[in-house]
Amino acid sequence: MIKIDTGNMCSHLQKKLFDEDGAYHHLLQAMEDDPEITAVVRSRQLHIYRNGRKVLILAGKSAPKVIREDRVCDLL
């Protein structure tokens, strides 16, 4: 299971991730089932890594930023 420190996360992003009807909730569920995925909150955004390489950045009000093509990005 993936652990995310929500203390420094944008409230809009928290709603999108953790609310059942949130835009990124299905993405969070997929990340929890994938042991290669890690996530870190930086500058109020969620930076998602696969095997130590950044693949995606999620922000509360702006569009997600795809860093590198990955199957987790296909869920957006």
pLDDT tens digits, one per residue of 34-75? 999 999 999 999 999 999 999 999 998 999 999 999 999 998
Please give the Cα distance from 67 to 8 (Å, whole number).
22
Instruction: Give the predicted TM-score (pTM) of the model.
Output: 0.90
Whole-number Å distance between alpha carbons of 12 and 54: 22
pLDDT digits (tens, 9 = 90+) for 7-33: 889 999 999 999 999 999 999 999 898
Token code pair at residue 25: 């909730």
Give residue limits of the domains in the chain. 6-75
